[in-house]
Structure 1
Amino acid sequence: MTTVPHTPNTPHAPNTPNAPHAPNAPHTPGATAARAAEGPAEPRPRFRDLLAAEWLKLWSLRSTPWAYAVTVLTVVGFNAGTAYDTYRYWTSYDDRGRADFVRDGIALAEAFTANAAMLLVLAAGALGAAAVAGEYGSGLMRTTFTAVPARGSVMAAKAAVVTAVTTAVGTLTAVVSYAVTQAILSRRGVGLPFDHPGATRLLVASALLMPVAALTGMALGTLLHHLGTTIVLTVVTLVLLPAVFSSDRYWSALVDHTLPYEAWLRLTQPATFTTAHPWSTGGAWTVYAAWALAACVVTVVGARHRDP
C-alpha cells in the first residue's frame, strides 16, 4: 500500500476587519511614458536672463548700430558747425562783440546747441518707439510674451536696456561735442575747459536728454503698437508742444515748464538769461525724472492690459 506524503497546510491570512490596506499600486506604463514625454519643468527666467535677451534682441538688427552712430555724428556735426562759424567770423566781431561773447558764456552754449538738442530728441524718440512698436508690428512681441508670460518683467527689462544704451550714447555725444567745439574755439582763445563753471551741468543735462526722449517713445509705442503713428505722436509731444507753448504768459509757461526740451533749455542756459516767468534748475531736473518714471510705468503696466 502506497503512502501519500503529507504536505503542510498553507497559512491563511488573518481575516480581520481592520487589516491594513495594501500599498498603492505602481504607476501604469502609460502614465510613466506621458510624464517622461513632458520632460522636466523649465526654470522660471530670471530678470538678468531677460536683460540678456533684450540686449541681444536690440543689437540683432544691423540698423541699430548705424542708427546710433549716425545720431552721434550728426549731433556732434551740428555743434561743431556752429563753433566753426564762430571761429571763421571771429575777426569780423568788434571788441564789444567779443567781450559779450565771453561775458554771456556763448562758448558754453555752443558746446551743445538748441538745434542739436532738438535733433537728439527726434532721433532718441524714434529709436525708443522702434524698440517697442517695431516689435509689435513684426509680431515678435507675441512670440516673446508666449515664451515669457510675465509681460511686466519683459517690458521692464526692455526699458532698462534702452535706458542704459541711450544714456551711454548720450554721454558720448555730449562729451565729444564739448571737446570738439571747445577745441575749435580755443584757436581763437575763447575755448572753455571741462571744469568750467556750468560745464558739468550742461554735459549731464545733454546726456540724460536722450534716455528721457527714448523712454517717451517707448511708452507711446506700448500704447499705440503702430510704428508710424508712434513716431508722429512722439514728434508732436517732444518737439511741437515746446513750439506751441511759450514762457510769455503764466499758464502757457506752466505747461512749457513741464516739457523735457524746455527743461534742457533751463539747465543749459547761461546765468545771464532772463525770462518773464523764471523757474529753478531743481524744477527742471524734476521734469526729467518725472517723464522718465512715468514713461517706465506706462511701458511696464500698459503691456499687461493690451494684447500684442
Structure 2
Amino acid sequence: MTTATTTPAVRVAHDGPRARFGDLLAAEWLKMWSLRSTPWLYVITALAVVAFNAGTAYDHYKYWYEYDEHGRESFMANGSPLMDAFTGNAATVLVLAVAAIGAVSVTGEYGTGLIRTTFTAVSARRSVMAAKVLVLAAVTTVFGALVAAASFASTQAILSGRNASVSLGHPDALRIIVASALLAPVAALAGLAIGTVLRHTGGSIVGCVVVLLLLPIVLSSRRHLTAVLQHTLPYSAWERLTGTETQHAGELFPWGAGGAWTVYALWALVAGVLAVVAVHRRDQ
C-alpha cells in the first residue's frame, strides 16, 4: 500500500512594500494631468475670468468722459477700481469651473471604473482620498492666485490710463486678491465632496450650481434667519471680503471679515473631511 500525502494549501501573502503617502500624492498628480481636457479647462477658465474683469475696467475707461468731476471722485472714493479687479461675473465663472473640476476628478474615476483599480491596488481608501484632496487644493490655490493677480494687474493697468487705478499698497487690495484667490480651492473642494457623495457627473455639477451659486441668490438678506444662512456660504463670504465699506453700510444684518474668513476655512475643512469619510464608508 502506498500512503498518499497532500501538501496543505499555502496562502500567498503579498509582502511588498505598502504605498507611501508621497506615492499617493504623485499618483493623484499624474491622474489629474493625464486628461488633456484638464489643462485646457484651467486655461479657458483663467482667460474667461480675466476677460470679464478686464472688460468691466475697459468700460469704465472708455466712458470715463461721461463722468463729471463729482462722479470721478465718487468712483475713487467708493472703491470702484477694486471692484473692477474681481467682479461678480468673474467670481461666478470661477466657482462654476473649479467646482466642476473638483467634482469630475472623482466622478470621472467612478464612471470609468478606475476607482476600483485604485482601491484594489491601495486598500487604504482614506489615504487615497486625502491625497486627492491635497493635490486638488494645492493646484487650485496656485491657479486662483495666478488668476486673481492677473486680474488685478490687468484691470489697474487699464484704469491707469484715466488715473483711476489703485496700487497693491492700497489698504484693501491685498484682501481682495487673497479672497478671490482662495475662492478657487474652496469651491473645488466643495465640488469634490459633492462628487464623492453623488458619484454622478451630471448630478454633481447640478449640485454644485445649486449649493454654491443659487442658494446665495435665493436666501434673502432682509430676514435674520435667511441672512445668517446666506452668510454661511462661500460666495457670500467672498462678497463680504471683496466689498467696500460703502457697499456694506446699508446691510440690515452686517457681519465682519473675520466671519467670512472662518466660512472659507470651515467649508474647505468640512468638504475635505466629507470626501475622505464618504469614500471610506461606502462601497465602490
* TM-score with structure 2 setting the length: 0.95
Would you say 1:278 and 2:254 are equivalent positions?
yes
Specify every segment of 5 or more residues in structure 2 that has no aligned partner in the other structure, as ranges: 1-6
1:55 alignment counterpart: 29
Would you say 1:300 and 2:276 are equivalent positions?
yes
Give 2:17's match in structure 1, choosing from 43, 57, 81: 43
How far apart in 1 are the matches of 2:43 and 2:165? 26
RMSD over aligned CA atoms reads: 1.6
How far apart in 1 are the matches of 2:162 and 2:184? 31
Give 1:223's match in structure 2, choosing from 186, 191, 197: 197
- Structure 2 SS opposite 1:304: helix
- Structure 2 SS opposite 1:187: helix
2:4 alignment counterpart: none
What per-residue deviation string (whole Å, max 9, x for no partner) do you get for residues 54-94 of structure 1? 00010011111000001100000000000000000000111
Give 1:76's match in structure 2, choosing from 50, 64, 80: 50
2:99 alignment counterpart: 125
- Structure 2 SS opposite 1:136: helix
- Structure 1 SS opposite 2:222: coil
1:165 alignment counterpart: 139
What per-residue deviation string (whole Å, max 9, x for no partner) do you get for residues 275-307 of structure 1? 111001000000001100110111001001111
What per-residue deviation string (whole Å, max 9, x for no partner) do you get for residues 13-60 of structure 1? xxxxxxxxxxxxxxxxx89xx79xx69721011101100000001001
- Structure 2 SS opposite 1:207: helix
How far apart in 2 are the matches of 1:86 and 1:300? 46
Specify every segment of 5 or more residues in structure 1 that has no aligned partner in the other structure, as ranges: 1-29
- Corresponding letter in the other structure for 1:88: K
Give 1:208's match in structure 2, choosing from 170, 182, 189: 182
How far apart in 2 are the matches of 1:147 and 1:188? 60
2:110 alignment counterpart: 136
Q: Radius of gyration: which is bigger? A: 1
Would you say 1:67 and 2:41 are equivalent positions?
yes
How far apart in 1 are the matches of 2:104 and 2:14? 37
Structure 1 runs of 4+ with >3 Å offset: none
Q: What are the within-5 Å matches in structure 2 for residues 12-23 of structure 1?
A: none
Would you say 1:251 and 2:232 are equivalent positions?
no
How far apart in 2 are the matches of 1:248 and 1:153? 44
- Structure 1 SS opposite 2:123: coil
Deviates more, 1:265-274 or 1:38-47: 38-47
1:27 alignment counterpart: none
- Count of matched residue pairs: 277
2:170 alignment counterpart: 196
- Name the one with the larger helix percent: 2
How far apart in 2 are the matches of 1:39 and 1:240? 52
1:99 alignment counterpart: 73
Would you say 1:110 and 2:84 are equivalent positions?
yes
Given the superposition, is the C-alpha separation of residues 39 and 287 from structure 1 closer, same or farther in structure 2, using an over 3 Å criterion? closer
How far apart in 1 are the matches of 2:268 and 2:78? 32
Shift of 1:246: 2.3
What per-residue deviation string (whole Å, max 9, x for no partner) do you get for residues 245-294 of structure 1? 12111111011100000000000101222211100100000000110011
Would you say 1:150 and 2:124 are equivalent positions?
yes
